[in-house]
Amino acid sequence: MESSSQVKLDRITVEEHESAGEQPRPPRRTKLKSMWTAELGKEAVKEAFRMLRPDIQWKNPVMFVVEVGAFLTLLYVIRDAFTTAPQLVPISYFIALDVWLFLTVLFANFATALAEARGRAQAESLRRTRAETVAYRIREGDGELEQVPSTSLRSGNVVIVETGMVIPSDGEVVQGIAAVDESAITGESAPVIREAGGDRSGVTGGTRVISDRIKVRITAKPGEAFLDRMIALVEGAIRQRTPNEIALTLVLSAFTLIFLIVVVPLWPMAWNAEQYMASYLGVSGVLKSLGTDVPTLIALVVCLIPTTIGALLAAIGIAGMDRALQANIIAKSGKAVESAGDIDVVLLDKTGTITMGNRQATEFLPIGKYSEAEVARLAALSSVADETPEGKSIVNAARIEVEAPPDATFVPFSAQTRMSGVDLPGGRSVRKGAPDAIVTFTTRQGGRIPEGFEALVDSVASKGATPLAIADGASIAGVIVLEDILKPAMPQRFERIRKMGLRTVMITGDNPLTAATIAKRAGVDDFLAQATPADKLAYIRKQQAEGKMVAMMGDGTNDAPALAQADVALAMNAGTQAAKEAANMVDLDSDPTKLIEVVEIGKQLLMTRGALTTFSIANDVAKYFAIIPAMFAGTLPWLNAIDIMRLHSPTSAILSAVIFNAIIIPLLIPVALKGVRYEPLGGDALLRKNLLVWGLGGVIAPFIGIKLIDMVMVGLHLVH
């Protein structure tokens, strides 16, 4: 009992700080107007051609194979252009084939380039909003003040900052002294003194002067402040592959190899059939089918290897980071976003996340000779000068007008006494505070503990509320019940999280009893009561030892070790520098519920990858049925029986398959960038749904697509 109430009071003081320092700020969304701005498109097209360079294309093994195939086909086109011997198929077929092979590569490069350009633009716009503050610079030479955007400040410039203004960039005070609110950077709401000369001359961009006027010499170069560095990190991370992406690239390369193994021996196999057919049909000379035609074999390889996902893989990863950026979350690496999808346990701070920031008085319980109204009056009296949210809520809950006599002295809260109150004229002193502190207070004055007091305190605590005792001089008058108010719709929200397969753990400084009650009311799975930084760290380690992935959100310096240990650590931008350095993501909105959004972004990223890979491989079924009969029907005409799509001719069949294979890439770019929508349906239902859409759909769609392309080509007389 002793130690728990200690923590309770400490906790109150922390909350006082938080609520004083943090103003609710509107969520800031830096959305791009459209995915298809002409500028982005133009840039991406240019980049797509540049990426044709073999040393760049090589990084995407699947598309590299397509590029090699396209160049090989080009050689065949050139050879055929200079030959006069009769050809199996017109040269226009080879030209069309080659054009579409190159287009396949270009579409793939375009997808990557577009996603990169979008990511860059997003980061850039973020950086702009960060830096759009006005600075008053002292012009060199005449010393006149001029108004300039903070972005144009150079190292060595001197600016004037007055009360209420934001310091435009990192620098040092060269003249004057001021109180500076650094809560935006450090999370500490108490203003600090910054003055010229000595250790306390450094100021940080983004902090606010709350009194006086200082002259600051800027020391940071433009774009090198903390957030700028983070954003730069993001831009660098865009090109880094995540572990899962590396594994998938490996699988896709292996599939490419497997399909090369399938197609290469087709040449001698088809040759074998041609030899036999020539003798069987009594044809003099050699029969030739498209089965021994190298460009056609290349077309088959290109259609079978997973080009769709090979083309979109990089774009999916970049788009994942991009979605995080849109939610105003800066992830230090793509790996962090990807891991978010795997999170098993989410640690959430009770305050601000699950409950409204502060406790409110809901009830006054009298004891002994006191009545409820008297307790309310005493409570209100002791809180009149108390500016903390709890204090105000006590005055509100008392619902009576109290005015302290003019000569009353207010006793503020102190960590030693753990009480606050008022000394009325006439020696009557009213105190409210932690029950054990009040007990000490009254007994020291010779008072007695009324019967039933301890039971009353326990019963309040057991309901999950916080008891504050009221002392009226030497006697205890009663207990104020302070209760946590749940944020609206929290149980529904946790239900959704549970369906995602996540366990929620509430972290609180409350005692286990209180914590258990709130946990039950809110619907979280577990709680960590009286949590010290060491407890949090130990809890995370324990979960990780069980194979679980842990996500947490933090803001204070004492959260840093736990943040560093967690698999996904989201620091609030309003938090301390240490927390932000330890975390692998920073939320610019400082919204504690963002963690859930991060998990969904991670899941969406993985789902999109899986869906498009499945789609890509399922597509092969239809392509086989389009190309195989077309390849061999030249010599084995009855194989047309397996041409179940009834395509116009062998060449139109092969071209249709290649064209479908190419245009499916740009068609799926929106899916890659937006991501497949995540719904918390549970693993099995989600898999069923996606298998139907992307697996079965992937089998069926190309049958329809290839047939349509064939019909269009016939309708336009493009094939004969």
Partner 1 sequence: MFLQTWFLPFALLVTATMVAIPLSGYMAWIMDGKYRPVPVFGWFEKRLNFGDQNWKQYTVSLLVFNTLLFIYGFIILSLQPRMPLNPRHLGMLAPTTIFHSVISFMTNTDLQHYSGDVNFSNFSQIFFCITMLFLSAAVGLSALTAIIRALRSDKSVGNYFLDMWRVLVYMFVPTAFLFGLLFLQQGSPMTYKSDYQVATLEPAAMGTTPDGQPKLQTIVVGPVAAFESMKMLGTNGGGFYGMNSAHPFENPTAFSNFFNTLAMMIFPFSLVLMYGRMLRKKRHAWVIFSVMMVLMIGTIVWAVHFDTQKPNPGLTAHLARTYQVLDASAPGGKRTVSVPAVAGLPVDQHWGNLEGKELRFGTPAGATFAAVTVDVTCGAVNAEHDSLNPIAALSPMVGMWLNCIYGGKGVGMINLLLFLIIGIFIAGQMVGRTPEYLGKKIDARVVKLAIIALLVHPLMILMPTGLFAGTSWGLKAETNPGAHGFSQMLYQFSSASANNGSAFDGLAVDYGFNNNSSAPPTARQWDIAAGLVMLFSRYLPIVAPIAMAAFLGMKKSSPFSAGTLRDDTMTFGFLLFGTIVIIGALLFLPAAALGPVAEHFGPIPFGG
* Residues noted as catalytic: 349
* Selected binder of partner 1 within 100, 226, 364, 678 (CB under 8 A): 678
Q: Give the separation between CA 555 and CA 505, rounded to whole angstroms.
A: 17
> Of the two residues 285 and 488, which places its CB atom closer to partner 1 in the complex?
285
Spacing of C-alpha 20 from chain mean position: 28
Helices (H) and strands (E) in the chain, counts: 26, 22
Please say whether the beta carbons of 549 and 339 come within 8 A.
yes
Residue ranges in 27-86 that form contacts with partner 1 under rule CB under 8 A: 85-86
Q: Which is nearer to partner 1, 262 or 485 (CB)?
A: 262
Nearest distance in Å: CB 79, partner 1: 15
Q: Closest Cα to residue 357, out of 465, 487, 463? A: 487
Q: What residues from 581 to 620 belong to the interface with partner 1 (CB under 8 A)?
A: 602-604, 606-607, 609-611, 613-614, 617-618, 620
Nearest approach, Cβ of residue 411 and partner 1 (Å): 51
Q: How far is the CB of 363 from partner 1 (least distance, A)?
A: 38
Residue given tokens 């240490």 in the structure block: 578
Q: How far is the CB of 543 from partner 1 (least distance, A)?
A: 10
Characterise 391 by phi-psi region: left (phi > 0), alpha (psi -120 to 50), beta (else). Answer: alpha
DSSP string, 489-526: THHHHHHHHHHTTPEEEEE-SS-HHHHHHHHHHHT-SE
Q: Is 604 helix (H, G, I), strand (E, B) or coil?
A: helix
Please choose, out of 141-149, 637-645, 665-673, 711-719, the segment that lies near partner 1 by the rule CB under 8 A: 637-645
Residues 480-539 touching partner 1, rule: CB under 8 A, are 498-503
C-beta of 56 vs 642, nearer to partner 1? 642
Q: Show contacts with partner 1 in window 77-106 (CB under 8 A).
A: 85-89
Residue 240 engages partner 1 in binding (rule: CB under 8 A):
no
Of 64 and 678, which has the nearer Cβ to partner 1?
678
Q: Measured from the CB of residue 708, what is the shortest distance to partner 1 in angstroms? A: 23
Cα–Cα distance measured from residue 665 to residue 672, given in angstroms and rounded to the nearest whole number: 10
Nearest to 159 by CA among 181, 178, 142, 174: 174
In the bound complex, what is the minimum distance in angstroms from residue 285's beta carbon to partner 1? 6
Closest CB 636 distance from partner 1, rounded Å: 5
* C-alpha to C-alpha distance for 672 and 483, rounded to whole angstroms: 47
The SS3 assignment for 329 reads strand
Query: Rounded distance, CA 320 to CA 597, Å?
Result: 12
Task: Choose, by CB under 8 A, the member of 273, 419, 437, 579 that binds partner 1.
Answer: 273
Q: What is the rounded distance in angstroms from the CA atom of residue 248 to the CA atom of residue 310?
A: 9
> Within 243-262, which residues bind partner 1 (CB under 8 A)?
243-244, 246-248, 250-251, 254, 257-259, 261-262
Indicate whether 310 belongs to the interface with partner 1 (CB under 8 A).
Answer: no
Nearer to partner 1, 448 or 720 (CB): 720
Instruction: Tell me whether residue 246 or residue 718 sits nearer to partner 1 (CB atom).
Output: 246
In the region spanning residues 680 to 709, those forming contacts with partner 1, defined by CB under 8 A, are: 680, 682-684, 686-688, 690-691, 694-695
The string of DSSP letters for 148-185 reads EEGGG--TT-EEEE-TTPBP-SSEEEEE-EEEEE-HHH
Binding residue (CB under 8 A) for partner 1 from 57, 635, 656, 661: 635
How far is Cα 577 from Cα 582, in angstroms, rounded to an integer? 9
Nearer to partner 1, 530 or 613 (CB): 613
Under DSSP, the state recorded for 417 is: T
Residues numbered 322-381 forming contacts with partner 1, rule: CB under 8 A:
338-339, 341-342, 344
- Work out whether 639 is an interface residue with partner 1 (CB under 8 A): yes
Report the distance separating Cα 219 and Cα 624, nearest Å.
65
Task: Decide if residue 305 touches partner 1 (CB under 8 A).
Answer: no
Give the total of residues touching partner 1 (CB under 8 A): 98
What DSSP state is assigned to residue 89?
Answer: S
Cross-strand pairs, 329: 587
Q: Which one of the spans 43-51, 369-377, 441-449, 542-550 is the region binding partner 1 (CB under 8 A)?
A: 542-550
Quick one: which segment of 19-27, 197-205, 240-248, 346-354 binds partner 1 (CB under 8 A)?
240-248
**Residues 108, 159: Cα–Cα separation, whole Å:** 49
> Which residue, 463 or 548, has its beta carbon nearer to partner 1?
548
Q: Which of residues 280-299 bind partner 1 (CB under 8 A)?
A: 280-281, 283, 285, 287-290
CB 621 to partner 1: min, Å: 6
* Least distance (Å) between residue 279 CB and partner 1: 8
Report the half-sphere exposure of 26 (CA within 13 A, side-chain side). Answer: 3
Q: What are the distances in angstroms from CA 121 to CA 142, 338, 444?
A: 38, 22, 68
